[in-house]
Structure 1
């Protein structure tokens, strides 16, 4: 489900199914960041539509969306479902792909060969209004699968970084005001990439003077740590606990392997409202997290806190790769 709520969450807590993470401002703790990295990527297997490969690791999923695009005589099978729903959105997936690619550029050498990065889809598929009126497994979808073809400064900044062609920097300088470069940046998200654009451009200038960059980094680290409750010794402990009522259709409904009979659009809502734990663990899922007062309700019907999404995991992958490399080096 895509809404403006994603852009209003200033300090989300990140949950990983079967593992959580220790983030310490004082030092790198002896946590298994490599395992967390693999799980954060494994999450995407739970979001796969299409014909699943033989090496699919989340065995509770099965083939789905095998006719996507057929009504328009194009093959749009595959890609990734957006979040807890069965829709393939264009802009959120573009953000996911951009963030994952950025992670590989910055930390690719730290990533295990076992970490299979997801492959990007091309367009959006599905009607979100109709989809959100159903609670059914991806394998049972019977609603129309409409197709939608779908930001300039962000693209220009990356092309400039890759090519060092000054014309792209000139484009940003000439069009920045018109395209919103001076607007307030509340978050880096699929709906607002300006913060990411500024980081890409700033990094290029800062790295020309490594000493200045290190001072800037130290200042940034200290500032971020000052935002964490109980700083500098506050830690979010690495434990086996995780939310049991994740707001995700495939995870919350019985697998087609366990219950082959169809679960239709309306009947599935009894699973949404049920207090029973999800029968299928969506390993590696990053949820929206607690409210502004750090309260988290493990409630499947509360999508504002319990829904995972591809674009939540995507920026997390690079951070985990960095921490994994630092831990392995110590």
Structure 2
């Protein structure tokens, strides 16, 4: 095991040397931070603001302006989740929670980008508020038929597929999507608490109501929505993790012991080695561990143990590690859109390291000592890999560096903009020649992080290979915090 750790350290050192000597300049984390947030402007649904200051990605225009009309409600706004034109609230709410968590933990390190992060959060929460309050007894959880949408390759500004509306209710429950929505609104309420108290109170009040709905009417939204949720965003991990996650965020936002007691009533959590839009256990453990490490509350010590067990399953040198790493040093969890897991887990690494540093806390994985710097070193290696310190010397963030993906799986990016070509291409009109073209996308989706390389550190830059070339909001949302952390650190 010592040899394994030594090999990893040697690899990490080599990657750092490549970053500092193989490039003209060290990695500009602040530039990467700005671009990671800018990406969200390219995912906007609804009425796009006028003026380049509010909408710097100028090839995007307004879209989805009739969303909600089939249910006679206003569901305009929010984000398209990835390269398609559907609004899936489950991953969108997770995106919002992670952006908010990043702003809460690292806002002071964001500098001038904090305002842009808040704007990205508010674009989502304005929409989520509509979904939660438009019709009593219903929580709207998506707009657009994903099965019809995936038959088309058209710009969001042109979409002519049916904008079906989906909801959960007492008779068709969705504790997972409701719990995540409650988490998003609660986390965001703290982001806006000082700068917009009225909006913050609205967010928190709605979060409480949605959480109560999640608790009272239990069930998985996948079971209620069927093909509108699966196989796109099935709740594979069940809904208990979202109940824990939502309650954890409401506890942090309110300090109401009701939520803490509710978490304890749910019993022991699973022992995950992943953190994502679907599985929240590790994130909840880290969030709750803050009370133990930062506030020195011993009642929360079990959550520190859970968080540390998770870290031991991630660290490459740990005797209980269940995480693979590529030859180039990238954490590799699953073959489809692997970078989503890398960014989410990296957020937990930097955040738990921050909590550990505040109390000079250390722990052990077997006979291996772990300090805050241990976690920071691993987190930095993952961020640096994404930004170009890898065998291909390819930045997996579009528009960052000189060598990055040119043919991402993204409708709006791959088709000429409305300004360049005013006529609609139609549902299937974008496939030929644009989808199958070998040419670079005409529009650069600055800041987008794609699904990433394969387990051999290879990347084909192929628009048709969505599992590697498609960006997604939840990939970017999770890296904003770590980028702010390293941008604001004197010795990252």
- Please give the TM-score of this superposition, normalised by the length of structure 2: 0.57
Hey, what does 1:112 align to over in structure 2? 111
Does residue 359 of structure 2 align to residue 210 of structure 1? Answer: yes
CA pair 322-222 structure 1, distance change in 2 beyond 3 A: closer
Return the alpha-carbon distance in structure 2 between the equivalents of residues 153 and 325 of structure 1.
31
- 2:447 is aligned, of 284, 292, 299, to 284
1:195 CA displacement: 1.4
Hey, what does 2:39 align to over in structure 1? 43
Calculate the aligned-residue CA RMSD, in Å.
2.9
Return the alpha-carbon distance in structure 1 between the equivalents of residues 437 and 389 of structure 2.
33
Q: Secondary structure at the match of 2:116?
A: coil
- Residues 236-287 of structure 1, C-alpha deviations (whole Å, 9 max, x = no match): 4673211000100000001111111110111211211111110000000011
CA pair 170-101 structure 1, distance change in 2 beyond 3 A: same
- Residues 198-252 of structure 1, C-alpha deviations (whole Å, 9 max, x = no match): 111223212337021596423434566799999xxx9446732110001000000
- Residues 76-96 of structure 1, C-alpha deviations (whole Å, 9 max, x = no match): 111111100000101000100
Would you identify which runs of 4 or more consecutive aligned residues in structure 1 move more than 6 Å? Answer: 25-29, 225-230
- Residues 152-181 of structure 1, C-alpha deviations (whole Å, 9 max, x = no match): 10011122233333332222122034xxx2
Asked if the contact 1:33–1:320 (Cα under 8 Å) also holds between the matched residues in 2, the reply is yes
Asked if the contact 1:206–1:213 (Cα under 8 Å) also holds between the matched residues in 2, the reply is no
Return the alpha-carbon distance in structure 2 between the equivalents of residues 277 and 77 of structure 1.
31
Counterparts of 1:160-175 in structure 2, within 5 Å, are: 160-175=251-266
Structure 2: runs of 5+ lacking an equivalent: 1-14, 129-140, 169-241, 297-357, 364-369, 396-400
CA pair 254-228 structure 1, distance change in 2 beyond 3 A: closer
- Residues 99-127 of structure 1, C-alpha deviations (whole Å, 9 max, x = no match): 00000110011223345131212242111
Return the alpha-carbon distance in structure 1 between the equivalents of residues 82 and 455 of structure 2.
22
Asked if the contact 2:409–2:466 (Cα under 8 Å) also holds between the matched residues in 1, the reply is yes
For this pair of structures, how many residues does the alignment match?
A: 301
- Please give the TM-score of this superposition, normalised by the length of structure 1: 0.83
Which of these two proteins has the greater Rg computed from alpha carbons? 2
Question: Larger relative contact order (C-alpha < 8 A, sep ≥ 6)?
Answer: 1
Return the alpha-carbon distance in structure 2 between the equivalents of residues 86 and 229 of structure 1.
31
Q: Secondary structure at the match of 2:249?
A: helix
Asked if the contact 1:32–1:324 (Cα under 8 Å) also holds between the matched residues in 2, the reply is yes
Return the alpha-carbon distance in structure 1 between the equivalents of residues 143 and 163 of structure 2.
6
Does residue 433 of structure 2 align to residue 266 of structure 1? Answer: no
